[in-house]
Structure 1
Amino acid sequence: MSLSTAGAIALRSLGVVSGQISVTSRNIAGAGVAGVNAKYAKIAPGDGGVVLLGVERATDVALFRNLLSANAHQESSTIVADALTRIDKTLNLSDSENSRSPASLISKLKSALQAFSATPQNETGAQLTIGAAQNLVSSLHDATLAVQQERRTADAGIAAAVADINGLLAKFGTVNAEIVYGAATGADVTDALDKRDGLLAELSKKIGVSAVSRPNNDMVLYTDSGVTLFETTPRKLAFQETATLAPGVNGSAVYIDGVQVTGAGAPLALRSGAILGMTQLRDDIMPQYQSQLDEIARGLVVAFAESDQSGGGGPDLPGLFTYPGATQAPTATLIPGLAGQILVNATVDPSQGGDATLLRDGGASGDPAYVYNPSHAPGYADHLIALIDASTKTLGFDPAAGLGNTASLETFSAASNGWVAAQRQQADSATTYYDAVVSQTTQALSNATGVNLDDQMSQMLALENSYQASAKLLEAVNSMFDSLFAAIR
């Protein structure tokens, strides 16, 4: 080997090792930074040594896809679980002793009626019974407020998520164009690839997404249901927030480039992500629970209604419980929002100027035909005893509430509690599962593609030794040339 060849090899080696040191320094700087993949210098044999072909990064496509999917499912289940937990806390559903659920307060009303019936002449018993009824009404009002607040929060959350996704897709388009151009011109695009992956991970929490790679590291994005999110340019997501989201009022759907992806009739409905979780809350879970509350309220009006005592066959009229505009006891048809409107009849409530003895004697409607105790005998208890049994009588319920067509008020309200508990348990189980999947996948992906500081420091020492060896070789060649030139002179 000639001295010139040896010098050229040493010089080229210095260049390659310098490039490797630069890449290793980048890795060390990025150690512990989320979303930074390990980089490595790609080298290959060449004429007279090795050549540096470029910089590449560690990747694991399968793990990254699993992480995107797990992120989306974790977010949707967490949103549902958190909302149901808030409902649980509002009504203390899980606290058997201090529960403010309709089922618990119906039981307490029944106990108050039993105590009142034992001493029907006792005014305190009447007031305690009215107080129990007021607590029950307050519970239904609070539950309705909580349910509607969750629906409004979800609707606003969908609007925010849509805006975030449009912003993320715009950023994704900018980075993707940089990557495609850099790949075509041979530039180092590894940092841009990390940035694009970070945008994808953030996007996956908002909406279920799948990615397809094309030449020059170009990428196309689809929803998990197959709707195009990005192809060269981002697709526009559209959503109109509903100003007044009252019981029985449906929220708007989300559209991607004109294609409906949420709500009834969506041809390609989303399967995961924050938008799905919030849509389920707004359109399915909370409306169904509201229907159950409304049916409990309607059942209370029906169960505690007064019947015509004159034999004239008049319709049942509201007794202890009523609602604005009520002229008679309602039929077995859902009245949206009734749980937020139900009232203790003012005519029997002393705090509203009423007479509590009407609870014992009947006639809350003001019609004498509906009086059970015309003589107003203080020891009369038959009507109170009948009211005690009111919660156990079989009533008709609207199947839209999802708890069957017939049941007693006690059974129906208990089933509603069970339904909420089951929904929450299902969401909690899904959240726990996907939390574990996200954690394990993130760790596996970090092990496969992340920066290991110990490895990088060891590699840096090896590269420094290689650099010193190449430098010594170059120094030796230079010394030989000096000796040769001196001999010639």
Structure 2
Amino acid sequence: MSLSSALGIAQSALANSSAQSALISKNIANVSNADYSRESAGTITQLSGYVTTGATQRATSAALMTSLLNAQSASASSSALDNGLSSLATTLGLDTTSSTGTTTATDNSPATLISALQTALQQYAASPDQSALGTSAVAAAKALASNLNQASASVASVRAQADSDMTSAVNTINSLLAQFQTVNTQIVIGTRTGADVSAAQDTRDGLLKQLSTQIGITTTNNHDGGMSIYTDSGATLFETSARTVAMTPTTIYSAGTTGQAVTVDGVPVTGASAVMPIQSGALAGLATLRDTTSVAYQNQLDQMASSLITTFAESNGTGTAPGLFTATGLTGLPSASSTTGLAASLAVNASVDPSQGGNVTLLRDGGIAGSSYTYNTTPSDTGYSTRLNQLVTAMGATQSFNPSSGGAATGSLASYAGSSVSWLEAQRQSSTSQSTYNSALVSSTTTALSNATGVNLDDEMSRMLDVEHAYQASAQLMNTVNSMYSTLLQAFN
């Protein structure tokens, strides 16, 4: 081997060491960057002994990346649903497990207040001449009506907040898709021209992670280095260009309000009219909360309100009218198909409410709906308890309810209210368990992806030592060649 060849080999080795050192330094600098994928390049030894640095390679794991995107979408969906249900449960006073040594847990659920009203009626029936007991019974009725009003308002608030969050999610999705289009175009052009696109690929992966928390996605790689994105139901979000995701917000919700669907290029992906309904992501969880779960609970509240009006209705032999309970705009009794919104406007009839100038003895004697509905035809009979006992019996009687919203199909008013509370608690506990599981899955998948594609500082430092040793060996070879050149020159001189 000639000295010039030896010198060339040493120089190529030094150049390779420099390139390898630069890659390792870049890896170390990004050790805390969750979106960075470790880079490496092989050393190619030629037959002549010269060495070159191979093409830079990003550490990738398509399977783990797909698993992480799916896990993040599922976690965001269950978390959104869990937060909404927890808000309902907290607002309605359903947490009976938070008592401590100094505080007592409260339970202001409709089921508890219905039982309290029934007890107050029983006590009044036992001593119908005690007007104070009548006042207590009316107060219990007002507390129940107020609770159903507040519960209905809470449902409306949760739905309105979910709608607002869905609007924010739609805006975020459109922003991320626009950023994705810019980066994806850079990668396609860079791939075509042979430029280093690893940084752009890292950015693109980071955008996919953010996007998956908003909506469930799947991806496909294209032959030109680009990528296409679809919802988990198959609707196209990005293919060469970003598609438009849209939703018209609804700011005010009442019991009968139907939220607007989210569309992708005009095709609904949420709501009853969804052609390709999405399954995961915060958007899917919020849509389920707004359009399904909260609506079902609202229906249960309205059925309770309807039952209260019917149970306490007064009859004059030829017709019936609302008695102790009534509702705004209600003239007759509600039908099975006209219960929507009753819980929001349920109230105790003013004629029996002392705070509104009413007379509590009308609860005992009848006539809340008017004098023609009086049951006690002997006003001097202060021991009259027949009407009160009728009401107690009616509250305990078996009734039919619409089971499609989740409550019991038949049972007493109190048992139906209890089934409603149990339904809400079961929904909340299920969503909490699912959210906890999905969060753990995201954590474990993130760790697995980091181990496969991320930067391990110990490994990089070990590689740096190897490169330093190679550099020292190449430098020593150059020194040796230099010494030999010097000896030759001295010999010629």
**Range into which the TM-score falls when normalised by the shorter chain:** over 0.9
Distance 2:12 2:199 in 1: 26
Answer yes or no: is 1:27 the counterpart of 2:44.
Answer: no
How big is the shift at 1:375? 2.2
Matched, 1:433 2:437: yes
Change (3 A) 1:445 1:4: same
With over 3 angstroms needed to count, the CA separation of the structure-2 counterparts of 1:19 and 1:362, relative to structure 1, is: same
Shift of 1:404: 5.2
In 1: Cα distance, 2:292 partner to 2:484 partner = 85
SS at match of 2:174: helix
The aligned runs of 1:391-430 (5 Å cut-off) are 391-403=395-407, 405-430=409-434
Worse-matched range after superposition: 26-35 or 346-355: 26-35
Residue in structure 2 matched with residue 453 of structure 1 by the alignment: 457
> Residue 478 of structure 1 aligns with which residue?
482
Q: What residue is the counterpart of 1:442 in the other structure?
A: 446
SS in 2 for 1:343: strand
Counterpart residue identity of residue 164, structure 1: T
The corresponding residue for 1:387 is: 391
Partners in 2 of 1:374 and 1:171 — Cα distance? 81
CA distance in 2, matches of 1:50, 1:316: 99
From the superposition, tell whether residues 149 and 298 of structure 1 become closer, same or farther in structure 2 (CA, over 3 Å). Answer: same
CA distance in 1, matches of 2:466, 2:349: 87
In the other structure, the counterpart of 2:202 is 194
Note if contact 1:240-1:252 (Cα within 8 Å) is conserved in structure 2. Answer: yes
User: Matched residues in 2 for 1:451 and 1:457: separation?
Assistant: 11
Q: Which residue of 1 aligns with 2:101?
A: none
**Cα distance change, pair 373–53 in 1 and its aligned pair in 2 (3 A):** farther
Q: Which residue does the alignment assign to 1:265?
A: 273
Segments of 5+ residues of structure 2 without an aligned counterpart are 98-104
CA distances 1:440-479 after superposition (whole Å, capped 9, x unpaired): 1111111111111111111111211111111111122122
CA distance in 2, matches of 1:463, 1:138: 76
Q: Secondary structure at the match of 2:483?
A: helix
For the structure 1 residues 43 and 218, does the alpha-carbon distance in structure 2 shift closer, same or farther, using more than 3 Å as the test? farther
Deviation (angstroms), 1:405: 4.7
TM-score, length-scaled by structure 1? 0.96
Q: Tell me how far 1:382 sits from its aligned partner.
A: 1.5
Aligned letter for 2:27? N
Instruction: Tell me whether 93-102 or 197-206 shows the greater mean CA deviation.
Output: 93-102
| CA distance in 1 between partners of 2:378 and 2:303 (Å) | 32
Which of 266, 284, 293 does residue 285 from structure 1 map onto?
Answer: 293
1:359 to 336, 360, 363: 363
The answer to whether the Cα contact below 8 Å between 2:39 and 2:57 also exists between their aligned partners in 1 is: yes
SS for the counterpart of 1:54 is: coil
In the alignment, the residues of structure 2 paired with residue 389 and residue 15 of structure 1 have an alpha-carbon distance, to the nearest angstrom, of: 95
Candidates 330, 351, 363, aligned match of 1:347: 351
Matches within 5 A, 1:139-178: 139-178=147-186
- Deviation per CA, 1:311-341, whole angstroms, max 9, x where unpaired? xx32221111111222222222242111010
* Secondary structure in 2 matching 1:187: coil
* Residue range with higher mean Cα deviation, 50-59 or 139-148: 50-59
2-side partners of 1:347 and 1:305: how far apart? 14
Equivalent runs, 1:43-62 vs 2, <5 Å: 43-46=43-46, 47-62=48-63
Q: Does the 8 A contact of 1:207 with 1:270 survive in 2?
A: yes
- Identity over the aligned pairs, expressed in percent? 44
Map of 1:469 onto structure 2: 473
Instruction: Give, in whole Å, the separation in 2 of the partners of 1:129 and 1:255.
Output: 51
CA contact (8 A) 1:72 1:204 kept: yes
- In structure 1, C-alpha distance between the alignment counterparts of 2:373 and 2:322, rounded to whole Å: 13
Secondary structure of residue in 2 paired with 1:217: coil
1:43–1:53 CA contact under 8 A, matched in 2: yes
Residue 86 of structure 1, CA deviation: 1.0
**Conservation of the 8 A alpha-carbon contact between 1:114 and 1:385:** yes
Moved more, 289-298 or 361-370: 361-370
- Residues 1:208 and 2:209 aligned together: no
Cα displacement string for residues 159-185 of structure 1 (whole angstroms, at most 9, x for unaligned residues): 111110000011111111111222222
Secondary structure (helix, strand or coil) at the match of 1:210 reads strand
Is the alpha carbon distance of 1:331 and 1:376 closer, same or farther for their aligned partners in structure 2, counting shifts above 3 Å? farther
Question: How far did 1:399 drift?
Answer: 4.7
Check conservation: 1:323, 1:342, Cα contact below 8 A: yes
The answer to whether the 8 A contact 2:76-2:214 is kept is: yes
CA distance, structure 2, for counterparts of residue 259 and residue 330 of structure 1: 38
Q: Which amino acid aligns with 1:36?
A: Y
**What 5-or-longer segments of structure 1 have no aligned partner?**
none
Q: What displacement does 1:52 show?
A: 1.3
Query: Structure 1 stretch 447-456 or stretch 237-246: which is displaced more?
Result: 237-246
User: Contact conserved, 1:295 with 1:401, CA < 8 A, in 2?
Assistant: no
Matched letter for residue 234 of structure 1: A
In the alignment, which residue of structure 2 is the partner of 1:182? 190
Instruction: Tell me how far apart the structure 2 counterparts of residues 368 and 95 of structure 1 sit (CA, whole Å).
Output: 45
- Residue identity matched to 1:95: T
Deviation per residue, 1:141-163 (Å, 9 max, x gap): 11111100111111111111111
Cα root mean square deviation, aligned: 1.6
Alpha-carbon displacement from aligned partner over 1:255-311 (angstroms, at most 9, x marks no partner)? 112222111132211011111111111111101110100010010001111122xxx
* One-letter identity of the residue aligned with 1:318: P
Per-residue CA deviations over 1:203-238 (Å, capped at 9, x if unaligned) read 000000011112242111111111111111111111
Between stretches 22-31 and 368-377, larger displacement belongs to 368-377
How many residues are paired up?
485
Please give the per-residue CA displacement for 1:51-79, whole angstroms capped at 9, x wherever unaligned.
11332221111011000001001111111
Q: Which amino acid aligns with 2:155?
A: V
11-20 vs 95-104, greater mean Cα deviation: 95-104
Change (3 A) 1:337 1:95: same
Q: Which amino acid aligns with 2:381?
A: A
Shift of 1:369: 3.5
